[in-house]
Amino acid sequence: VEGEKRWTLHAPPAPEHVLPRDPSPDFAPADLGPPLASVALKPGDLLYLPRGTVHQAFTPAGGAASLHLTVSISRRHTWRDLLELGLAGALEEAAAADVTWRRALPREYESFMGVLHSDRADARRAQFSQMAHGLLQRLVASMPLDAVADHFVTWTGRGWMYDRMPPHATPDDARRLARAGSLSLASKVRLRSRSAARLAVEGDVAVLYHHGTNTRAYHEVDEPQHIDFDLDAAPALEQLLASYPKYVRVGALPCETAAQRLDVANALAEAHLILLKPGERPPPAAKPKQKAGKRKPGAQ
């Protein structure tokens, strides 16, 4: 960003430091092998480091002050993190649905299980192992990977949406930003960006997490911005999310009634999430009826 720095890169010193889940500790020079590279970075330069690459940087003697920006990617976004969340949820569901998981362990299992007894030939050990491994196999086979992926996306995406700046608005965006209460069934709209919102199903509610009404002050609002919908609005939300960057006519949204179609579109407009197709002029702004994040279009 400013000034100059020389970066020296080393391979991770041991297999357990390859692709670490958390930042590695500082290493002594004696722990490291020969440098993989030594490069000087100046303003405008970009250096990609695979996760776990050991690196150190210094400003050349006599040089001006230097400043760099580090951006981490894929942190806590690994197979381990996905399956850790999935297995925990699958175990809870399995225990609720099948009494086998809730049965007590065999009496005096501590007298034949454990390292102390690992070399003993005991039929009880075989039965214990068969039962435990059988349950684990059933758990893995029944784990709903699509639902796990949705849950993981929601779990990570909720924080991601909460951390983000509000959407960047170009002058053209500002002119075409849909206004709550001003849409008709003939209006054609699309999301402001592909990543402007993320849909999750939580219980009997379809929740749309977004950053449309975030402020420039970090976490100035108390929780991630979201809009709660009845589940019957989910197909309309899915169509709007999946159609980007194409425009969708509000009247074509898959809802049961015209009122529900308008309610979904106005909820997204109220959250500053949708743009009108070029050439369409938004009518004068109307005062929103309800606060975004609290309404449930289609509620009885």
- Considering the domain architecture, whether residues 170 and 263 belong to the same structural domain is answered as yes
Domain membership flag for residue 96: yes
Mean pLDDT value of segment 98-113:
95
- Considering the domain architecture, whether residues 211 and 269 belong to the same structural domain is answered as yes
Domain membership flag for residue 38: yes
221, 224, 227, 231 alpha-carbon torsion, rounded to 10°: -160
Among 258, 271, 193, 194, which Cα is nearest to 226's? 271
Domain membership flag for residue 74: no
Q: What percent of the chain has pLDDT over 90?
A: 65
Domain membership flag for residue 292: no
Domain membership flag for residue 294: no
Mean pLDDT value of segment 135-139:
95
CATH, residue 102: 1.10.10.1500
- Considering the domain architecture, whether residues 269 and 197 belong to the same structural domain is answered as yes
Domain membership flag for residue 266: yes
Q: What percent of the chain has pLDDT over 70?
A: 93
- Considering the domain architecture, whether residues 175 and 211 belong to the same structural domain is answered as yes
Domain membership flag for residue 291: no
- The reported pLDDT for the residue numbered 286 is 46
Our count of domains for the chain comes to 3
| Residue 152 confidence (pLDDT) above 60 | yes
- The reported pLDDT for the residue numbered 22 is 86
- Considering the domain architecture, whether residues 191 and 235 belong to the same structural domain is answered as yes
- Considering the domain architecture, whether residues 187 and 130 belong to the same structural domain is answered as no
- Considering the domain architecture, whether residues 184 and 269 belong to the same structural domain is answered as yes
Dump pLDDT digits (tens) for 185-238.
999 999 999 989 999 888 899 999 999 999 989 889 888 899 999 999 999 999
Of 29-43, 86-100, 102-116, 150-164, the range with the lowest mean pLDDT is: 150-164
> Count of CB atoms within 10 A of residue 225's CB?
23
Domain that holds residue 180: 166-276
- Considering the domain architecture, whether residues 192 and 250 belong to the same structural domain is answered as yes
CATH, residue 242: 3.90.930.40
Domain membership flag for residue 152: no
- Considering the domain architecture, whether residues 128 and 181 belong to the same structural domain is answered as no
Dump pLDDT digits (tens) for 240-298.
999 999 999 999 999 999 999 999 999 999 999 999 998 776 555 444 444 444 445 44
What does pLDDT average to over the chain?
89
Gyration radius of the chain's alpha carbons: 27
| Residue 43 confidence (pLDDT) above 60 | yes
> Is 208 exposed, middle or buried (CB count within 10 Å of its CB: 0-12, 13-18, 19+)?
buried
Mean pLDDT value of segment 35-53:
94
